[in-house]
């Protein structure tokens, strides 16, 4: 794609990076076929190619964002399916991130939208605030029918999430030979609504012979996708500093993420801080060590299988941030199979389930359509359980799946000596279903 940025514009490193990305696009349109919003809405401006064009016009002419640009950029899930498809290597992720920051700087959103985005950014990175917000939401639920769509979606999401018992907070010495030392990204929302995921991860890693150091705090991804750069930057900087201290202190074989959205973001710290003289090298080192939990386990080795765990049929839902963001596709399936489960593929596996961070709150209509489409494909697998590597997808799919939706590590932990996943236990609440014996 030809661009016409002025020399003075290209002195800005963000614009210079986006110009390089834009130049790679050859307008071929291959990406449109695998873009969930184009598949649903059929509008070129809701395709990657259309959005790239809108962003180019906005940045090149140094224009404030218009309502039209904001509408189509907001509808993008950042699922990155387009990056998997693109034959020219267009780094759409960095381009849309830049567009979102430009929108935040130059566009005044309607009041409700501003309030909602500010509330999400204020609450989600902080577990105590998430806990308080979930408690408040319980009181607000009776008013849901008279609220605007996005607020209704937020209350619906709070109904589908379950604050649970305390999270994992520290490491302990392992029994037997130590095979690795890893840091686990504890995360934010996940520690409140599904602490069992971190607990299963630690048990599994320790059983595999790894010493686990738990590093708390939000990675900044949720706020980053809202375009709120200063807050996202501060959250990420804090975690980079602490991870780097572990890296050069006790030494780390890997930094482990068990929420693929966080993993994708942490793997991008090197890029995000590339122009920061204080943090560039540290961030690059952190990114280079970051692994999804299934990548780490593939290296360390899965512990031996325990006796008596049923060999269930598992529909594996590959989160977008896992398959498109990190290109981690084979490891989760291989590990599930090695643990004794029968892995079944979900048709249209490349399409997003509609969760996408805060997307299901901010774009509820599209998110619901994508969820229904995904659930219909899940049902066709006739699997007994759905496994995925991202807590957002679990929350999005659990309410309507008809079978339990669990994190991949919960199944691997169970198969190697841990307890059954919470959603598979008798009497599991919202999102959990008892196992169907015929599957």
Round to the nearest angstrom and report the end-to-end CA distance of the chain.
Answer: 51
We find the least distance from the C-beta atom of residue 150 to ligand SF4, in angstroms, to be 18
Identify whether the C-beta of residue 314 lies closer than 8 Å to the C-beta of residue 344.
yes
Binding site for ligand SF4 (CB under 6 A): 25-31, 35-37, 48-49, 51-52, 76-82, 85-86, 88, 90, 92
- Residue closer to ligand SF4, measured from CB, 30 or 271: 30
| Structure tokens given for 167 | 């999270």
We find the least distance from the C-beta atom of residue 239 to ligand SF4, in angstroms, to be 24
CA–CA separation, 48 vs 91, rounded Å?
11
Element (H, E) at 345: strand 342-345
We find the least distance from the C-beta atom of residue 231 to ligand SF4, in angstroms, to be 22
We find the least distance from the C-beta atom of residue 49 to ligand SF4, in angstroms, to be 4
We find the least distance from the C-beta atom of residue 37 to ligand SF4, in angstroms, to be 5
CA–CA separation, 368 vs 382, rounded Å?
22
- Residue closer to ligand SF4, measured from CB, 201 or 260: 260
Half-sphere exposure of residue 215, counting CA atoms within 13 Å on the CB side? 30
- Residue closer to ligand SF4, measured from CB, 93 or 167: 93
We find the least distance from the C-beta atom of residue 359 to ligand SF4, in angstroms, to be 9
Identify whether the C-beta of residue 439 lies closer than 8 Å to the C-beta of residue 313.
yes
- Residue closer to ligand SF4, measured from CB, 366 or 415: 366
Q: Give Cα separations from 414 to 46, 102, 149, 197 (angstroms).
A: 42, 46, 39, 12
Q: Give Cα separations from 11 to 14, 114, 150, 194, 387 (angstroms).
A: 9, 31, 39, 45, 46
- Residue closer to ligand SF4, measured from CB, 99 or 184: 99
Task: Compute the C-alpha angle 125/126/128, nearest 5°.
Answer: 155
- Residue closer to ligand SF4, measured from CB, 65 or 383: 65
């Amino acid at each position: 794609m030809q661009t016409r940025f002025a020399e003075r514009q290209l002195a800005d490193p963000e614009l210079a990076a986006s110009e390089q990305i834009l130049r790679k696009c050859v307008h071929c349109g291959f990406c449109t076929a695998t873009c969930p919003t184009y598949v649903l809405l059929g509008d070129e401006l809701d395709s990657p190619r259309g959005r790239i064009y809108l962003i180019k016009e906005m940045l090149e002419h140094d224009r404030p964002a218009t309502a039209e640009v904001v509408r189509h950029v907001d509808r993008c899930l950042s699922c990155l399916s387009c990056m998997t498809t693109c034959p020219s290597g267009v780094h759409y992720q960095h381009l849309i991130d830049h567009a979102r920051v430009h929108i935040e700087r130059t566009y005044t959103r309607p009041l409700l939208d501003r309030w909602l985005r500010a509330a999400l950014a204020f609450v989600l990175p902080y577990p105590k605030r998430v806990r308080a917000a979930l408690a408040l939401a319980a009181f607000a639920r009776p008013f849901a029918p008279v609220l605007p769509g996005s607020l209704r979606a937020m209350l619906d999401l709070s109904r589908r999430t379950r604050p649970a018992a305390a999270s994992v907070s520290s490491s302990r010495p392992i029994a037997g030979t130590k095979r690795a030392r890893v840091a686990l990204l504890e995360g934010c929302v996940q520690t409140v609504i599904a602490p069992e995921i971190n607990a299963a991860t630690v048990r599994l890693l320790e059983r595999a012979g790894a010493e686990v150091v738990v590093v708390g705090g939000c990675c900044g991804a949720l706020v980053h996708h809202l375009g709120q750069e200063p807050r996202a930057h501060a959250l990420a900087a804090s975690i980079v500093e602490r991870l780097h201290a572990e890296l050069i202190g006790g030494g780390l074989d890997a930094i482990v993420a068990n929420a693929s959205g966080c993993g994708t973001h942490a793997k991008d710290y090197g890029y995000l801080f590339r122009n920061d003289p204080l943090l560039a090298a540290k961030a690059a080192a952190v990114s280079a060590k970051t692994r999804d939990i299934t990548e780490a386990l593939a290296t360390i080795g899965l512990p031996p299988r325990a006796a008596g765990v049923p060999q269930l049929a598992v529909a594996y839902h590959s989160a977008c941030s896992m398959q498109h963001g990190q290109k981690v596709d084979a490891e989760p399936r291989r590990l599930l199979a090695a643990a004794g489960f029968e892995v079944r593929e979900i048709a249209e596996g490349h399409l997003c389930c509609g969760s996408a961070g805060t997307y299901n709150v901010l774009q509820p209509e599209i998110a619901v359509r994508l969820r229904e489409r995904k659930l219909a494909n899940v049902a066709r697998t006739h699997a007994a359980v759905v496994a995925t590597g991202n807590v957002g997808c679990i929350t999005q799919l659990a309410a309507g799946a008809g079978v339990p939706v669990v994190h991949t590590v919960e199944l691997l932990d169970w198969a190697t000596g841990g307890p059954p996943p919470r959603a598979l236990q008798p009497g599991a609440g919202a999102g959990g279903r008892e196992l169907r014996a015929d599957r």
